[in-house]
Amino acid sequence: MSFDRQIRIAPSILSADFANFGAEIRAIEDQGADWVHVDVMDGHFVPNLTFGPPAVKAFRPHVRSFMDVHLMIAPVDTHIEAYAEAGADMITAHVEAGPHPHRTLQAIRATGKKAGIAINPGTPAETVSCLLDLCDMVLVMTVNPGFGGQKFIHSQLDKIARLRAMIGDRPIHIQVDGGIDPVTAPLAARAGADVLVAGSAVFKGGSVERPEVYGANIRAIREAAEG
Ligand code: DX5
Ligand code: ZN
């Protein structure tokens, strides 16, 4: 897969209908989603609990694009294999999830999947400076993780710009996650982000019966970011 920094929209299924994931995944992809962002939460690293490897395995046959699995879990190393087996295309772990993020990224790479490292709003960009040669993406949280529908934290924009400078021309995506909508998307893109996760801003007002609303929401975010 060749690398480029085109803007990619990755809807988070945390905001989807939890009783209808297969249809929801097909709908967002039909309506223009570039990736499918899967938020795994353990109720320990973050104050919410979502789904484990069996659910991710069930999503897999419905995903035609790219399944981007965001592990908000700690400890994380012991679970990497299971999410790789379940069919993740990208596995992103939090740098705060344990004492050995370098080894965590090695373990993700060893599964043959793309490797991402995520940093929370309170974690400086420099924290990942020794990890850049082991990852395909850095995920900058623009909300404190655990829930959809939160407000974008604008102080993270400087961090995104600093990260963009640190990365240089390495083939590493910068993903932003949390509070992304047509107003905040251009700020994040201008700072250097190229993969935009959006949950509530994509799913709001739509349904599998009215998927065209998803399409309009995705286009609004993409056009704002590219504008
Ligand atoms: C939050 C998750 C995000 C969240 C985004 O912990 O990692 O992916 O679902 O939801 P919105 O776009 O509604 O902020
Ligand atoms: Zn996420």
Confidence of residue 2 (pLDDT cuts 50, 70, 90): confident
Residue nearest to atom 6 of ligand 1 (CA): 145
Annotated active-site residue in 34, 42, 136, 177 = 177
CA–CA gap between residue 20 and residue 35 (Å, rounded)? 18
206 lines ligand 1 (CB under 6 A): no
Size (the chain), residues: 227
Q: How far is the CA of 99 from the centre of ligand 2 (A)?
A: 21
**Domain residues of the chain, as ranges?**
8-226
> Active site includes 181?
no
36 lines ligand 1 (CB under 6 A): no
Which bound ligand lies closest to the C-alpha atom of 199? 1
Is pLDDT at 1 greater than 90 in this prediction? no
% pLDDT > 90, the chain: 99
pLDDT digits (tens, 9 = 90+) for 102-136: 999 999 999 999 999 999 999 999 999 999 999 99
The phi and psi torsions of 29 (rounded to 5 degrees) equal -70, -40
Residue 195: per-residue pLDDT = 99
What is the CATH number assigned to the segment(s) 8-226? 3.20.20.70
* pTM across the whole model: 0.98
Cβ(70)–Cβ(37) below 8 Å = yes
Pocket test for ligand 1, best of 9, 12, 15 (most atoms within 8 A of CB): 12
197 lines ligand 1 (CB under 6 A): yes
pLDDT digits (tens, 9 = 90+) for 18-69: 999 999 999 999 999 999 999 999 999 999 999 999 999 999 999 999 999 9
Residue 165: per-residue pLDDT = 98
CA–CA gap between residue 114 and residue 46 (Å, rounded)? 23
